[in-house]
Amino acid sequence: MSELTIEFGGEELTLMPSGGCFWAAKGTLFVADLHLGKSQSFRARGLAVPTGSSAATLKKLYVDLNSTGAKTVVILGDLFHHRDSHCEALLAQVLEWRSRCSNPNCLLVEGNHDLWAGVPNEYGFTLIQQDHFEPWAVFHEPDFLDDRLALAGHIHPGVKIALDSRTAIKAKAFWRTSNRLVLPSYGQFTGSSTIEPKPDHGIYPIIEDRVIRISHALLAKEIPPFGRSRRFAASEL
Ligand SMILES: [Zn+2]
């Protein structure tokens, strides 16, 4: 597993292949868009999607907290997916995760889905405001017009990378603009949407188990309809 450390606002942040962003100086792990209970809310509406996505997301978060030693985890919004997501089974999963992780300090920047779903107290997350940390703010929606430096989520950024004239692949990515570091969606079963970064932006896709830095020139303009998909190695990029 290979991470990438970048500087943002004078602080070093480690971008992890899981989609997490670790601030070692403060022992704090940032993640965005878990959408816990998403598959369950679909099933509640009769869509036969697979079970287990929340358990897989919480397991990943357990592994990240364990490997980094982070004592604080900050969710940059959309911890929960939908009102229908809340049930005893999900609450039990989250509480079990908390105790396995030695009860980390769990902070939440409310996202649009959280506002809709509600965040019951029993889950043990503390809501924080945008100015909770220095030197940057923490947002759910990036709000690019606000000129503060900020970490954000919500967009589920992804990129299409051209391997050759006929082949492109899609990957979740961290996206750095002049004033934002936008994290990829962390939750299983959350997907990504393709961003259109400017040439001076930082583009850090997650390829297999590595976070890499790519130039704007490697982005595919579009995936041709005849483009084929195949497995690839991070070393090809
Ligand atoms: Zn959102």
CA distances (Å), 221 to each of 48, 125, 159, 166, 170, in order?
Answer: 34, 41, 10, 11, 12
pLDDT given for residue 6 in this prediction: 97
Q: Which residues contact 158 (CB under 8 A, 6 or more apart)?
A: 170, 171, 172, 173, 184, 191, 192, 193, 194, 195, 205
Residue 64: CB atoms within 10 Å: 21
For residue 236, pLDDT beyond 70:
no
Please give the Cα distance from 137 to 96 (Å, whole number): 30
pLDDT given for residue 221 in this prediction: 74
Contact status, residue 166 vs residue 224, Cβ threshold 8 Å: yes
Give the pLDDT band of residue 227 (cuts 50, 70, 90): very low
How far, in Å, from the CA of 152 to the mean position of ligand 1? Answer: 10
pLDDT given for residue 226 in this prediction: 45
Give the pLDDT band of residue 237 (cuts 50, 70, 90): very low
Per-residue pLDDT tens over the stretch 75-129: 999 999 888 777 888 899 999 999 999 889 999 999 999 999 888 899 999 999 9
For residue 229, pLDDT beyond 80:
no
Per-residue pLDDT tens over the stretch 120-179: 899 999 999 999 999 999 999 999 889 999 999 999 999 999 888 788 889 999 999 999
pLDDT given for residue 44 in this prediction: 64
Please give the Cα distance from 199 to 16 (Å, whole number): 23
Q: Which residue type does 46 have?
A: G
For residue 230, pLDDT beyond 80:
no
How far, in Å, from the CA of 186 to the mean position of ligand 1? Answer: 12
How far, in Å, from the CA of 154 to the mean position of ligand 1? Answer: 4
What total of structural domains would you count in the chain? 1
How far, in Å, from the CA of 155 to the mean position of ligand 1? Answer: 7
How far, in Å, from the CA of 189 to the mean position of ligand 1? Answer: 15
Give the domain extent around 190.
4-236
CA distances (Å), 75 to each of 33, 36, 140, 152, in order?
Answer: 7, 12, 9, 10
Give the pLDDT band of residue 45 (cuts 50, 70, 90): low
Identify the CATH number of the domain in which residue 93 sits.
Answer: 3.60.21
Per-residue pLDDT tens over the stretch 173-193: 999 999 999 999 999 878 899
How far, in Å, from the CA of 163 to the mean position of ligand 1? Answer: 31
pTM, entire model: 0.89
How far, in Å, from the CA of 141 to the mean position of ligand 1? Answer: 6
For residue 52, pLDDT beyond 90:
no
pLDDT given for residue 43 in this prediction: 58
Q: Which residue type does 130 have?
A: Q
pLDDT given for residue 50 in this prediction: 58
